[in-house]
Chain A
Amino acid sequence: MSGMQVQEKKTVTLGSLWRDKKSRGVIMQIIAVIGILLFLGNIVSNTVENLDRLGVKVGFDFLTEPANYDINQTLIEYDSSDSHFRAGLVGLLNTLLVAACGIVVATILGFTAGVLRLSHNFVLNRLMQVYVEITRNVPVLLQILLWHGIIIHSLPVPKKAEAIMDVVFATNRGVFLPQPIPQEGFGWVWIALLVAIVFAVLFKRYANKVQVETGKLIPAIWIGAAAIVGLPLIVFMLLGAPVEMSYPALKGFNFKGGFVIKPEFMALWFALSLYTGAFIAEIVRAGIQSVSHGQTEAAHALGIRPNFTMRLVVIPQAMRVIIPPLISQYLNLTKNSSLAIAIGYMDLVATIGGISLNQTGRALESMGIVLGIYLFISLFISALMNLYNKRVALVSR
């Protein structure tokens, strides 16, 4: 600022610009932008200079070097001789898996609890209140640790595990389930499923058209659902059930075969779903309550059945209130999944931002990658939900 005043005396043009309110505002903004840029430039040049002085090279070439460590949950093939890049990819997929599973369960849980909290049934109502208030008010990290502790301490070790229905084993090293392994010809079942989905969508459109033109109701949703389940099933049977089951069996230290859900994944999934579900429940409750009771009464007065009143009158209006905060909750859940590190779930932070970082010492680069990916995931979810929001938002006519 002192610099500015000196200039003011020297040049008449600058002085008059400064006295003018509008141009002063512009000048101040330019100064602010330059200040911020200089500050950022300073940090970057300082870092580069310091690293240079220590003889540390900045670069991403380490990503192609072999990672040399193993990961216990891999959705794609991975071996310790694969690159750091692939290890990071395995971690990213694990993050996306737990985020996606968490979002689905949290949404179901949240909508159920939100609606039940408005129920006139005293017990249900209070039960949901207890759920919401307890899970919402305990830090999610503690809940993750609690679930992990419960799972590893309460479930038996593999050697003492007893079978549930002969084929399922719940142990503190995971729940082992039989896994169907598709054999030759199974591709037809996928094709049948695809055909059924296309049919269901087209049929729903046709039903809507019929309803608009004639007022006749066709139960398109049920027929569509029947097609989606039925058609692949029929094809599957006709092909003579082309799958082989892989059953878990105790061999040495652990179960082999089948499909395993690791305790770390379960703990993270439960904790995140329950925690975020509680927030969603409150959002849903607020959304429904924001629709004035007059709307329901008006719908009833027009002779619309309660079921349709909810589906066609209340929920569409409630959704406008629900969607924006719901986006935030989805983003929160995704970002909270990075707490996985506390229980050793190998997510993005634990792989590229953890072990790779440590082995290569490339802290700046690794953290940069992790930050960038989280930013991208969040913006992507946000964009998707905003798209949906636009569809349900109030259209001004």
Chain B
Amino acid sequence: MKKLLPIAVSLAALTAMNVSASTLEDVQSRGVLKCGVSTGLAGFAAPNDSGQWEGLDVDLCRAVAAAVLGDSEKVEYVPLTSKVRFEVLKSGEIDVLSRVTTWTFTRDASLGLNFAGVNYYDGQGFMVPAALGVTSAKGLDGASICIQTGTTTELNAAEYFKLNGMTYEPVPVETSAEGRQNYIAGRCDVYTTDASALAAQRSVFEDPTAHVVLPEIISKEPLGPVVRHGDDQWLDIVKWSHNAMLNAEELNINSKNLDERAANAKDPAAQGLLGSNEAKLGAMLGLDKKWAYNIIKQVGNYSESFERNVGKSTALKLERGLNALWTNGGIQYAPPLK
């Protein structure tokens, strides 16, 4: 027995060793990006009629895949509930989490995660049936409120009602479908979640005009992609995939005009981004020269992605608002490509 133990122990020690290559190498050798998304939220991540995933969050996954693998279709979407999302990311089952996740101090500081930017600036709002005649959230004292659990939403609601000296009955719901059912049946008077998600929910109601979103926005909800701690290169890649889309919009480069812009030698900023001059932006990230070109070509710039998924022509009908570029009065502001 004495001779057996060391063998077994060393064997166990071997299996316990963590052979972790960089996420970039993992993704490239696998040939597919694993991206955690919502279980189905119109405009952000939901499968369309032909089963293809679509949405603002999905476009971020596609942008990273285009930058890293040169093909925006090489993504494996992993639908996750709000409850399991961080654990799945931490355990390495996915490479990036792009799932309407609010960037908060606690999450950033204590969960072993890093936020790689903000792809949608949101805020929590309230939706009520128009027939109720309520015009302000201040008039909701004593109401029953449907709240999706496991989010920052319930904290904001608790805080808001406490601050304003009002009472309410929280009705916790696990999924948006369950929330809709409770709200329509009148189990709750009010539905509260991020304003963008309220718009998404309202868009699938039988009569969207019978419901109003109250003017109060009670919280800051910067939603963005998340990666694991400890792989700075990968953090940079995800961060700059998003920033490339913003910079492209700012430079007025889109999926239609990019070949023309890339060929124009008098346009160094565009050429640098698109990798058609001597600038080696891609190499600094450990990527191909055409990383950003692939993103813009296959996914489009931020404006194209926004309008296609949640903008005026979609069922969600969201304004750019805070999400307009800083040059247009919004706060979407990408650091310069220098």
Contact = CB atoms under 8 A, between A and B. Distances in A.
Interface of A: 3-4, 7, 27, 30-31, 34-35, 38-39, 41-42, 45-46, 49-51, 53-57, 68-72, 80-81, 149, 152-153, 157, 172-173, 251-254, 256, 263, 341-344, 346, 350, 354-355, 357-361, 363
Contact of A70 (B18, B140, B154, B174): B154
B165 to A, nearest CB: 13
A346 B172 contact: yes
B170 A71 contact: yes
A68 B158 contact: yes
B4 interface: yes
A4 B1 CA distance: 9
B149 A252 contact: no
A354 B150 contact: yes
Contact of B16 (A45, A71, A251): A45
A102 B181 CA distance: 26
Contact of B15 (A4, A42, A153): A42
Contacts of A30: 1
A56 B112 contact: yes
28 contacts: A3-B7, A4-B4, A7-B4, A35-B8, A38-B8, A39-B12, A42-B12, A42-B15, A50-B18, A54-B112, A55-B229, A55-B230, A69-B158, A72-B170, A152-B182, A157-B186, A172-B185, A173-B144, A173-B169, A252-B143, A253-B189, A344-B173, A350-B149, A354-B83, A355-B149, A357-B150, A360-B110, A363-B86
Nearest to A252: B142
Interface string B138-167: 001111100001110011011101100000
Q: Is the interface of B mostly helix, strand, loop or mixed?
A: mixed
A252 B141 contact: yes
Nearest to A263: B187
A254 B143 contact: yes
B170 A152 contact: no
A350 B173 CA distance: 10
B185 A341 contact: no
Residue among A27, A54, A69, A357 with max Cβ neighbours from chain B (10 Å):
A69
Nearest to A6: B3
Nearest to A160: B186
Interface of B: 1, 3-5, 7-9, 12, 15-16, 18, 82-83, 86-87, 90-91, 106-107, 110-113, 140-144, 149-151, 154-155, 157-159, 161-162, 168-174, 178, 181-182, 185-187, 189, 228-230
Contact of B110 (A53, A253, A346, A361): A361
B8 to A, nearest CB: 6
A152 B187 contact: yes
A65 B158 CA distance: 16
Contacts of A4: 4
A354 B189 contact: no
Contacts of A7: 3-4
B12 A41 contact: yes
B9 A70 contact: no
5 A-B pairs with least C-beta separation:
A54-B112, A157-B186, A358-B150, A80-B158, A344-B172
Contacts of B83: 354, 357-358
B83 to A, nearest CB: 6
Nearest to A54: B112
A344 B186 contact: no
B3 A54 contact: no
